[in-house]
Structure 1
Amino acid sequence: MAYPARSASSTGHGGVIHRVSDDCAPVAMLDRVPRPPRRPAPLAGTLFLGRDAVASGLLTPADLRSKAWQQVLRGIYADATITPTHGLRCLAVTRFILPPGGAIAGRSAAYLYGVPLVGADEPVDVLVPYGVDVRPAGVRAHHTPVDSSDLRILRDIPVTTPTRTCFDLAQWAAGLVEAVVMIDALASRRVVSVPELETYARERAGQRGWRRLLDAALLADAGAASPPESRLRVRLVRAGLPRPQTQVVITRGGRFVARSDLGWPEYQVAVEYDGVWHAESSTQIHADRRRLNDIVATGWVVLHVTAKRLRDDFDGFVRELRAVLRARGAL
């Protein structure tokens, strides 16, 4: 069906006049259709300095604010198609901020070694030589002596070695427990071994920070499966309880029954950390209860602890566990 030709203008609601094109689409509406953001080929899939892109004429300041780009750090941009990660921040720091002789360190180095315990927006830890001022937002600079043997190149990024990374974590973490959490994660991925750390610390006896690393190394365990389990284990030991084993295998008649987070096999006592996922579905609850019954049938005692209990009543849990260990002859 053919529509009659319309006039070049028409009066709409409220007397507002919209010019109409030949295809009947109001020009005013066409003007409001967002234009696709400009993504010049030389910048696609890259990291770059915003000021350089503008100075070269590839982009305008308005282009930088479009959805085509993301700001990784102040003045440093990346193609928006690149997933924003802490690793991307480390790369940006390496390319545009890190001075000669500097290196990615601490939690950021641990991230590059495969420990994903740092958020995409958290500051990047770096070691820089004395006398070099590094203050960009999003970068946490540490001025400390470092030997060249403590540095390496990892995927084109200068980073501290695993042992040096653990040394720095022991100094910079928010307390001994959190240092062990990070070291456990590195050890569980076979990035570093606990004996290596003990040797590294003892070889530096008398130097500033060596004792902190040794204390953390003596509490570290490559069998740790998660940060909450690491925190629980270290807190139990610091509360004066015997050190538990990690990933304890429980058997009955030579048949595998279960694997427990922490335990004292010689006394058949286990501790299980219950995360939120344990209560996510009736199916999971059913599986957990059946597993618990199987463990109890072997003669083991299992104590469960939740994140809330650790936060609000850790001392109460320690009293319960101490009583069980005492009844089993461990104390």
Structure 2
Amino acid sequence: MSYQTPSAALSLEELSRRQQNVITASQLRARGVPSRVVSEHCRRGGPWQRLLPRVYLLQTGTPTPEQRMWAALLYAAQNGREETSAGAGAVITGAAALALYGFAGVPRLPAVTGVQVLVPRQRRLRDAGEVRIQRTARELRATDVHGLACAPVPRAVADALREWTDGGVLDAGLLGAGVLRSVLREAVAPDGPAGAPACTPAELVAELREAELLGEPRIRAAVDELLAAERDAVLGALLDLAAAELLPLPLVGPELRMRGGTFVAVPDVYWPEQGVAVELDSALRCVSEGEEAWVRAGQHRMEYLGVRVVHLTGARLAADEAGVAEQLREALADGGTDLVELLLTEG
């Protein structure tokens, strides 16, 4: 769930400790602190300070980066009237969320100068200070990072790339040539940032497609490079398994055509004598819907022409090598059905 301002059950001391001394006006009012007292405490030389509209820091001095994040989240989560309501809720997203997750490819939290906060579409909020309000019609989902509600990794990455694209950061070269690739790699790495649950390449690509970012040449090139590396790793694991199980050596990426030259498909691996093909994660090959349709059409043509097509995912290959080996062994033993003779061009 997204962050929602807590009910009045917590004392002011407990709430300020939970929210790192950052409090909203409605939270103060619910705990018996009148507006007059808040105004007096926030005067020059007073013990409190106003960070954002209706958001206060109950101390003097410069806010810490974490307190800035709390202020942004509380500003977006409150609605100015009631503590909790159906419309309340917000999550930090974009570069700020990636910094909280611990992504090495983005500026560290103290260097983050703007905070993107995602809220439901019906919320009436304006940008304030460094807070940039972003609305969504989709259900808010969040990951707890040090008590702060952050958008899931795929959404945070997409919003960060949109932020850098729209803000001209990529064009100005302010982040360095390898930042895009680094962020994408970290997003899908099983041993990525400690605070970030890894996402699959398919989840990441789906979010980038939803954000209409794949038409940006630099982003598309970085995505293609990431998917190619993931496919190579899965393919290498498959070939290693085939060798370890003493299976026949397959052809890798051959182009299949009919005798008249009509194109059929390019399977990931193919055993021509047995008429068996393996198709790995299509999500690692397809970025656009057109590419998905092209791959599916090739698979259907192979099956129509008698080729036995085995579908495998990298996740299953990693989790169940014995089961995959048995599936391949059975497929090779059975072979294709009424196989039409095909011409091969090795990849």
The answer to whether TM tops 0.5 is no
Task: Indicate the structure (1 or 2) with the bigger Cα radius of gyration.
Answer: 1
TM-score (norm 2): 0.40
TM-score (norm 1): 0.42
